[in-house]
Amino acid sequence: MNITINNIEVWANPGETVLEVAEREGIRIPTLCYLKGFSPTGSCRMCMVEVEDQGRLVPSCAFPVYDGMKVKTNSPEVRRARKTIIELLLANHPQDCLVCIRNGNCDLQSLAAEYGVRSYRYVGQRRKGKLDLASPSIERDPEKCILCGRCVRVCHEMQNVGAIDLINRGFNSTVAPAMDRSLNTVACVYCGQCIVHCPVGALREKSDQKRVWEAINNTDKLVVAQIAPAVRVAIGEEFGLQPGEIVTGKIVAALRRMGVDTVFDTNFAADLTIMEEANELIERITQKKTLPMITSCSPGWVKYLEHFYPDLMDHLSSCKSPHEMEGAMIKSYYARKMGINPEKIFVVSVMPCIAKKFEAQRPELGKEFQDVDAVITTRELARMIRVAGLDFSRLPDEGFDDPLGESTGAGAIFGAAGGVMEAALRTAHYMMTGKDMPVIDFSPIRGLQGVKESTVEINGIKLKVAAVSGLKNIDVLLKDMQAGKSEYHFIEVMACPNGCINGGGQPQPSTPEKIQKRTEAIYKIDKRLPKRCSHHNQSIQKLYQEFLEKPGSHTAHDLLHTHYTR
Ligand code: HC1
Ligand code: SF4
């Protein structure tokens, strides 16, 4: 069908909304509540357009096109309506932009600037709400909430958790857990997808920047940082670089200039995880133990399983997640090698994830002391780099410290959904046959689909595997397991859609284009490395010779494995 937008004739498909057609034609219509791929609510009204042939304004995100429709996206009426909407939102919003976490990166602030709002036009009573600071991962400031409902849709429709919802009526409407409780008392899994999709500063990570600066300034502490696989392909966005630009060396250089003593790589521990996890998988298959085995490196996923399917906990791999393994090795193997009292070591993990903050505090992940002392997100590290006065893009590329800094391509691909599975298969094949896979790249479990599955034959055993990301996608598989119908041997689950590259701690906003670029960069790192299988990592081989003995050994179990019991 044909419609006209701003006097230009364009084609449209039946069922499309005005906003979708305008986007395709490169006409920008501002939005706040709209989320591509989710049910439209039309609640914010920012996307108002004028339908000339009907003489009225409609919300373009929820209004379907019809043949012969005449739309104006930029008439004086439209501009006036949008400006009034912004002014009304500001009337019920704290006037603290200068001290807000989203200052400079807030959709409401940008729109106010764009529409020339220069004063607070409507002054009156504002909605009150209490700050929720109780969780180890997320902070909520209901007074900043503009009731767009994006977080609610993401929590329900993408993550299948439903920890938050619109509660109360009229002026007292707010987004909160049931009975206005704190997030740490409900089944929130701390995936942080609500933060990534919040257009304003109503949701933010619990910051650990201060604790890290204090450790750096404490001359009695040896501060050891580690960097997750997905951080290196995303943090550049915070400094105006292209999404997917690989800046590993610059992050290492930045951390050293900030005063961090030693910089190791979580990718090293990803290789170590693979050694332990592949060994565990083979053990479960040969000894006919619980199958399918499910990966345990995504702490949001682990928490989801604990809340919603506690009867399936035995399926979870006993391996700690890579950054926890790295922390455990830093405070045992490395401390012993260097003759340092582990109590003087402060391990900080730089992660794309906010659930890692919760994970680092879990009693299952430490004994005398926690494996990891602090977790900062990609966003927090970017803030710290700015405060340190470093010109990120001009930093030199520096290498990791030894011996926990060497990694292979298998460790690198942990950052993308399907990567843990692919890396584990590379090493499981070697452990079962004594030979590397003839083709290292395993394309059936690459790509941005939520569920990817395949069958791979190793030594006559047909292994049925799946990689799932985004929590709503896992339920069907879990229900099959409960019914005893699952045919899988091994399943990778990542709480965030597309894995860690799209984690709750990554630069905002996160768009499909950025996710695609970050994913491509992850596989580029793998392709470029001379060694692409975890078992070829020489520092890992040395670690087993000098300390751990062999995968699944007593020491390995003591330090690298855990048991979640909740
Ligand atoms: Fe991840 Fe992992 S890949 S969980 O997504 O197993 O956060 O990047 O660091 O620990 O290696 C996150 C990323 C990360 C762990 C690894
Ligand atoms: Fe829901 Fe995840 Fe946000 Fe918790 S962190 S409220 S589970 S989207």
Model pLDDT for residues 451-468, shown as the tens digit of each residue = 999 999 999 999 999 999
Is 97 catalytic? The answer is: no
Does the active-site annotation cover 496?
Answer: no
Ligand number nearest to the C-alpha of 500: 1
What CA–CA distance (Å, rounded) separates 298 from 320?
A: 10
Task: Answer with the residue of higher pLDDT: 565 or 37.
Answer: 37
Q: Please indicate, yes or no, if residue 143 is contained in any of the structural domains.
A: no
280 or 43: which leads in pLDDT: 280
Give the pLDDT of residue 527: 97
CA dihedral 24, 28, 33, 34 (to 10 degrees): 0
Q: Write out pLDDT tens, residues 156-189.
A: 999 999 999 999 999 999 999 999 999 999 999 9
Chain centroid to CA 457:
32
Q: Which of 41, 74, 89 is the last residue of a domain?
A: 89
- Please indicate, yes or no, if residue 348 is contained in any of the structural domains: yes
| 214 inside domain | yes
pLDDT at 39: 86
CATH number, residue 538: 3.40.50.1780
Check pLDDT > 70 for residue 566.
no
Pocket perturbation via mutation, ligand 1, pick of 190, 267, 297 by most ligand atoms within 8 A of CB:
297
Phi, psi (degrees; rounded to nearest 5) at 492: -95, 130
Q: Is 460 exposed, middle or buried (0-12, 13-18, 19+ CB in 10 A)?
A: exposed
Model confidence, pTM = 0.96
Q: How confident is the model at residue 40 (pLDDT cuts 50, 70, 90)?
A: confident
Rounded mean pLDDT, 497-525: 96
Pocket, ligand 2, Cβ cutoff 6 A: 138, 154-155, 159, 161, 163-164, 188-194
Q: Is residue 120 part of a domain?
A: no
Same domain, 250 and 399: yes
Distance 159 CA to ligand 2 centre (A): 8
Q: Which of 40, 60, 89 is the last residue of a domain?
A: 89
In a domain, 445, yes or no: yes
Mean per-residue pLDDT over the chain, rounded:
97
Is 202 inside a domain boundary?
A: no
Q: Among the atoms of ligand 1, which is closest to the Cα of residue 501? A: 8
* Domain finish residue from 35, 70, 89: 89
Residue 246, domain extent = 210-560
The string of pLDDT tens digits covering residues 238-296 is 999 999 999 999 999 999 999 999 999 999 999 999 999 999 999 999 999 999 999 99
Quote the pLDDT of residue 3: 97
- Give the number of domains in the chain: 2
- Could you say which of 320, 356, 357, 514 is catalytic? 356
Compute the residue count for the chain. Answer: 566
Q: What is the mean pLDDT of residues 4-23?
A: 97
Residue 193 CA to ligand 2 centre (angstroms)? 6
Name the token pair of 415: 């950052």
Taking the C-alpha atoms of residue 548 and residue 553, their distance in angstroms, rounded to an integer, is 7
**pLDDT score for 565:** 76
Q: What CATH number is associated with residue 29?
A: 3.10.20.740
Per residue in 375-403, pLDDT (tens digit) is 999 999 999 999 999 999 999 999 999 99
